[in-house]
Amino acid sequence: MGLRVTREERAVLDGLDLEVAAGETLSISGASGCGKSTLLRVLALLEPADAGRVEIDGQDAESIDYRSYRRRVSLVFQEPPMFEGTVADNVRYGPSMAGRTVSDSEVSELLAQVAIDPAIASRDAERLSGGERQRVALARALANRPQLLLLDEPTSALDPESAMEVIAQIRRLSAQGLSVVAVLHVPEHARLLGDRHLHMRDGRLETVEMST
């Protein structure tokens, strides 16, 4: 793959290589500003790489219909914006774009999966707290039944208990074949979530051995 991204004439990603297997979870750590979010955006095709290619199942991502790629590869931002409407509207958004209706019970199930009381389904999404938004955004991503989930510090606004529930749920989904790349700052969260641990430095990724 050999991704290369330069911003303001500085190499942010420098010949970085990354391969994720089906059902594999990766954690990425690294100093602030080292390029972790940039990597996730490039993998989600939200930003172009200057060199290198993103592939999915051996197919060049650029050759796939953009919207269907974005459903297969879902990115959850650290401070995810909510769409106008209720929490349920937000969860239903992606599937509705693909012509699929998500039932009330599926919405409840998706919210429960991310450790949120399904009773908030009817609330105005834009009035939620940061931690609630983070989990609703995760439910919204999961509603697309992605193949690869990209998470940018998914536990940063969560209390420790909710963080553990979210991590446990992601592990269950990965056991069913979901691939996950998660930027995580809390070493304990990285250890619990990742099958593999990577550290970003100078635009590249290094493997980290974590004692378990």
CB–CB of 88/96 below 8 Å?
no
90 forms part of the interface with Mg ion (CB under 5 A): no
Nearest approach in angstroms of CB 187 to ligand ADP is: 16
Q: How many positions of this chain bind ligand ADP (CB under 6 A)?
A: 11
37 forms part of the interface with ligand ADP (CB under 6 A): yes
Assigned token pair, 89: 């509207």
Q: Which of 3, 20, 29, 35 binds ligand ADP (CB under 6 A)?
A: 35
Query: Residues for the chain: how many in total?
Result: 212
Nearest approach in angstroms of CB 10 to ligand ADP is: 7
With CA atoms as reference, report the closest residue to 38 among 207, 205, 211, 212.
205
Q: Where are the beta strands (DSSP E) in the chain?
A: 3-7, 10-16, 25-29, 55-56, 59-60, 73-76, 148-152, 179-183, 196-201, 204-208
What's the CA gap between 198 and 144, in Å, rounded? 27
By beta-carbon proximity to Mg ion, the closer residue of 34 and 121 is 34
By beta-carbon proximity to Mg ion, the closer residue of 40 and 107 is 40
Q: Where are the beta strands (DSSP E) in 17-154?
A: 25-29, 55-56, 59-60, 73-76, 148-152
8 forms part of the interface with ligand ADP (CB under 6 A): yes
Segment near ligand ADP (CB under 6 A); pick from 27-35, 86-94, 117-125, 169-177: 27-35
By beta-carbon proximity to Mg ion, the closer residue of 30 and 118 is 30
Footprint on this chain of ligand ADP (rule: CB under 6 A)? 7-8, 12, 30, 32-38
